[in-house]
């Protein structure tokens, strides 16, 4: 077994850790390695991506539940929320109300760590990794709104400007993410603040 980025590791026994409980035989991929301060000195930490189990915020944990392994093996099941992830999660929370008003129900939407970046899952559609403007929450709102529009726009135009019966697009105006009507070049609402009039 290769203990390098790209290497596969297998759960040896069930253990309630991070996003667990884990299933014996479950396979993960090492996506990053780094040196960390262990209880008795420096250790190599392996960050392992177990597919959908990787989204739970957590801490550096666990030894010895992967087969064939060194006592010193430490798996970072998921990191503390990075500043980058915090910006994306905050922006996502701001955008989701537009999506939920359109769906008429709670939306499935989440952001989590992915390799050295962030990934986004909205209503079963993924951006992995999610390429975004770092540390500019309004710009990230615009980028997420664009993704939401690509999902909801599959079945037609969404959202619309009722004044001009024209499709809206997310834009960044004076540093603020807004839904923009290009027909008359005006902002209809901040991203996340559409109302029923903007449904097609």
The Cα 54–Cα 43 span in angstroms is 21
Angle (CA) 143-159-168 rounded to 5° is 65
CB of 54 to Zn ion, least distance (A): 42
Is residue 181 a contact point for Zn ion (CB under 5 A)? yes
Residue 74, judged by CB atoms within 10 A of its CB (0-12, 13-18, 19+), counts as: buried
- Residue whose Cβ sits closest to Zn ion: 181
CB of 198 to Zn ion, least distance (A): 10
Among 123, 184, 195, 199, binds Zn ion (CB under 5 A): 184
CA separation (Å) from 158 to 43, 72, 108, 117, 148? 51, 52, 18, 29, 10
CB of 5 to Zn ion, least distance (A): 49
When the beta carbons of 74 and 181 are compared against Zn ion, the nearer one is: 181
Q: 89 near 111, Cβ under 8 Å? A: yes
Task: Give the three-state DSSP class for 178.
Answer: strand
- Count CB-CB contacts under 10 A for residue 31: 18
In this structure, what are the phi and psi dihedrals at residue 2, rounded to the nearest 5 degrees? -90, 125
Residue with tokens 């998921």: 78
CB of 163 to Zn ion, least distance (A): 5
The Cα 63–Cα 12 span in angstroms is 11
Q: How many residues contact Zn ion, by CB under 5 A?
A: 5
When the beta carbons of 122 and 168 are compared against Zn ion, the nearer one is: 168
CB of 185 to Zn ion, least distance (A): 8
When the beta carbons of 67 and 165 are compared against Zn ion, the nearer one is: 165
CB of 84 to Zn ion, least distance (A): 34
When the beta carbons of 64 and 164 are compared against Zn ion, the nearer one is: 164
Structure tokens at 124: 């079963």
State which of positions 147-166 bind Zn ion (CB under 5 A).
Answer: 161, 163-164
When the beta carbons of 72 and 189 are compared against Zn ion, the nearer one is: 189
When the beta carbons of 128 and 165 are compared against Zn ion, the nearer one is: 165
Q: Which residues bind Zn ion (CB under 5 A)?
A: 161, 163-164, 181, 184
């Amino acid at each position: 077994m290769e203990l390098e980025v790209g290497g596969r590791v297998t759960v040896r026994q069930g253990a309630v850790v991070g996003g667990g409980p884990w299933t014996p035989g479950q396979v993960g991929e090492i996506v990053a390695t780094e040196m960390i301060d262990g209880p008795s000195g420096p250790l190599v930490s392996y960050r392992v991506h177990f597919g959908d189990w990787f989204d739970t915020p957590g801490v550096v944990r666990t030894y010895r539940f992967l087969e064939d392994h060194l006592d010193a093996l430490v798996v970072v099941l998921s990191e503390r929320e990075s500043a980058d992830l915090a910006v994306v999660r905050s922006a996502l929370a701001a955008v989701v109300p537009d999506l939920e008003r359109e769906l008429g129900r709670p939306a499935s939407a989440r952001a989590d760590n992915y390799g050295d970046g962030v990934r986004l899952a909205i209503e079963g559609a993924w951006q992995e990794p999610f390429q975004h403007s770092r540390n500019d929450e309004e710009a990230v709102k615009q980028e997420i709104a664009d993704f939401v529009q690509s999902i909801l726009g599959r079945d037609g135009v969404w959202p619309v400007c009722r004044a001009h019966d024209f499709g809206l697009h997310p834009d960044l105006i004076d540093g603020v993410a807004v839904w923009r009507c290009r027909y008359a070049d005006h902002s209809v609402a901040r991203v996340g603040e559409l109302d029923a009039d903007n449904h097609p």
